[in-house]
Amino acid sequence: MEIAVSRNILARNEALAEGNRARLADKSVFALDVLASPGAGKTTTILATIAALRERYRIAVIEGDIASKVDAEKVKEHGIPAVQINTGGACHLEADMISRAFDALPLDDLDLVIIENVGNLVCPTEFDLGQGARIVVLSVPEGDDKPLKYPGIFAMAEAVLLNKVDAAGFFDFDEAAFTDSVRRLNGTAPIFRMSAKTGEGVADWAEWLAARIEAFRAG
C-alpha cells in the first residue's frame, strides 16, 4: 500500500510538472531549480547569479523554506520579484506549489525564474517541478564526501557548483576526490568552482546558464 501511495503521489506531481513546463514554454520563461543543503550558500549564489545576468534577462525568484520569509525579503531588497513558499515541514517543493507561485508572478514580463528548493540533498530529487534545468550547490565546508553519501542528487544534476572555494584553505577538502566522485556518478555535468561571496567563478557559471536560456528560447 505504501508503494502504491508513493507512486500515486509522484504520478500526480509529474502531471502537474508537465503542466508547469508547458506554461513556461508558452511564455518563453526558463526555470532553474537550485538544490543544496542548508548553509551551502544557495541564496548568496542566486543573488550573485542575478547580479551577473540582470542586464540581459528579466528575473524572478521562488523561495522554498520550511518556515520564514527571510530569503525572499533578501531577494526583494535587490529589486527582484520574489514569492515565498513555506512548506510547513515538508522537505521539498512540489509541482503544485510552483504552479501557485507562478500565479503570483508576472510571467509575461520574465525570462528566467530561479527556484530555491528547500535545503535538502535527498527529498527534492524525486519531485519534478517543470524546470528547464536542475543544479546542485555544494560548499567546501560540507566536505568532499557528499557525492558518495547522496549519489542521487549528483547523478541527476545538470551542473554542479562548488561554492565557497575562497575558504578552501581552512577546511580539509580534497577537491580531486570530490571531482572524481562526481564524475563517477555524472560524466556530463560541468563543475564550476566559485565563491558567490567574492565573485570568483560566477561569470563562468552565469555564461553556462545564459547558454541554456538561449537554447531554450531558440527551441
pLDDT digits (tens, 9 = 90+) for 172-181: 999 999 999 9
pLDDT at res. 192: 98
For residue 1, pLDDT beyond 50: no
Residue 183 phi, psi (nearest 5)? -65, -30
**Amino acid at site 52:** A
Look up the pTM and report it.
0.94
HSE-up (13 A, CA, CB side) for residue 29: 25
Backbone φ/ψ region at 79: left (φ over 0), alpha (ψ -120 to 50), beta: left
**Amino acid at site 160:** V
Which residues, 6+ apart, have CB-to-CB distance to 134 below 8 Å?
32, 33, 35, 156, 157, 158
pLDDT at res. 69: 82
Burial readout 32-54 (b: 16 or more C-beta within 10 A, e: otherwise): bbbbbbeebbbbbbbbbbbebbe
CATH number at residue 54: 3.40.50.300
Contact yes or no for 137/161 (Cβ under 8 A): yes
Q: Which domain holds residue 170?
A: 2-218
Query: Comparing C-alpha atoms, which of 99, 103, 45 is closest to residue 71?
Result: 45
pLDDT digits (tens, 9 = 90+) for 84-93: 999 887 889 9
For residue 4, pLDDT beyond 80: no
Number of domains in the chain: 1
The residue that leads in pLDDT, 219 or 131, is: 131
pLDDT digits (tens, 9 = 90+) for 100-127: 999 999 999 999 999 999 999 998 999 9
